[in-house]
Amino acid sequence: MSYLPTGFKTLVRREILRFVRRPRNTFAPPFITNILYFSVFGVILGERIREISGVPYIVFILPGLVVLGAVSNAFENASFSIFHGRWNEYIHETLTSPLSYGQMVWAYIVSSATRGVIVGVLIAVLGLAIINPLYAASVGVSRPFYLVAFMLVITLLFASLGVAGGLWAEDFDDLTMMNQFILRPLVFFGGVFYSLSDIPPLLRDVSLMNPMIYMVNGVRYGFIGRAEVNPNLSLLVLLVLTGLVAALDVYLFKRGYGLTE
């Protein structure tokens, strides 16, 4: 049916326009927050920590901050958009359309992942603009393929999780709770600010159960070319996980979970 791609593109466009037209809500917060992160953790604390895994501390945390910004924005965008549409019932405009459930879900995922990628790029550019003059260095992208691949898969994964979260949430407090009590702890214990080799073995083993470790590790590999976990294996695991969560989203839409009852 020829109308299907147009319908999908329209929903993606609508979802992207929703956040692009509100730059104060979308782009200003991560911009300000990351200036603070780079200043406090990178410049001030970095003076004391100096090097970690053979690179300046600020360079070490840059990939982690990119991941933090990218995944939290992808998650927040999808969960908010779905939940707000349910709350005000305008998601009915989508649900009563001839889009397939798969198209609806992937439109929300793709647009939310786009926001995650844009925010991630914004943080990376900001970080490199601070790092390079400060250290008179030329930190860039060591493994572009891996950086792009990891950025895509982690934002798609968290956008998929955000869709499920948006369907599950009963009120706005649930959205905040998911971000504060689930997402942030995973990120902060996900190797953003420390190296696995610097923590006790028991903590390291526990950390390896946190999927965020593999994401931060993969993006760090893309930037500085050093990885603590095999990046190919990480990429494969994350891809499979993304496929599973997206399939769950489609199933939930089909069942009408949070939508039709």
Partner 1 sequence: MTAAIEVSDLRKRYGDVQALDGASLTVPEGSFFGLLGPNGAGKTTFINILVGLVRKSGGEARVFGHDVETDYQEARDAIGLAPQEFNVDRFFPIKEVLEHKAGYHGIPADEARERADDVLRRVGIYEKRNTRFDWLSGGMKRRFVLARALITEPDLLILDEPTAGVDVQLRRDLWNLITELNDNGTTILLTTHYIEEAERLCDEVAILDSGSVVEVASPEDLMDRGVDKITISFRESPTSAPALTAGNGHIEDVELVDGRLVVTARQGGVVAPDIVRELDREGHEIVDLDISRTSLEEVFVEMTEGQSSNIEGATQ
Question: Do 163 and 109 touch, CB atoms closer than 8 A?
Answer: yes
Q: Is 27 in the site for partner 1 (CB under 8 A)?
A: no
Name which position in 23, 44, 90, 181 contacts partner 1 (CB under 8 A). Answer: 90
Q: Is 110 in the site for partner 1 (CB under 8 A)?
A: no
Neighbours of 122 (CB within 10 A): 19
Q: Is 226 in the site for partner 1 (CB under 8 A)?
A: no
In whole angstroms, what is the distance from residue 231 CA to residue 217 CA?
7
Q: Is 24 in the site for partner 1 (CB under 8 A)?
A: no
Question: Do 71 and 215 touch, CB atoms closer than 8 A?
Answer: yes
Longest Cα pair distance anywhere in the chain, in angstroms? Answer: 62
Question: Do 66 and 127 touch, CB atoms closer than 8 A?
Answer: yes
Q: Is 207 in the site for partner 1 (CB under 8 A)?
A: no
Q: Is 10 in the site for partner 1 (CB under 8 A)?
A: yes
Binding segment toward partner 1, per CB under 8 A, in 71-79, 98-106, 147-155, 175-183: 98-106
Q: Is 2 in the site for partner 1 (CB under 8 A)?
A: yes
Q: Is 173 in the site for partner 1 (CB under 8 A)?
A: no
In whole angstroms, what is the distance from residue 83 CA to residue 194 CA?
34
Name which position in 92, 181, 182, 203 contacts partner 1 (CB under 8 A). Answer: 92
Residues 6+ apart with CB under 8 A from 127: 34, 38, 42, 58, 62, 65, 66
Task: Return the number of the residue (13 or 184) whose C-beta is nearest partner 1.
Answer: 13
Task: Return the number of the residue (144 or 256) whose C-beta is nearest partner 1.
Answer: 256
Tokens of 237: 């695991």
Q: Is 100 in the site for partner 1 (CB under 8 A)?
A: yes
Residues 6+ apart with CB under 8 A from 235: 146, 149, 150, 153, 218
Q: Is 93 in the site for partner 1 (CB under 8 A)?
A: yes
Task: Return the number of the residue (94 or 234) whose C-beta is nearest partner 1.
Answer: 94
Q: Given the rule CB under 8 A, which residues bind partner 1? A: 1-4, 6-7, 9-11, 13-14, 17-18, 21, 88-90, 92-100, 255-256, 260-261
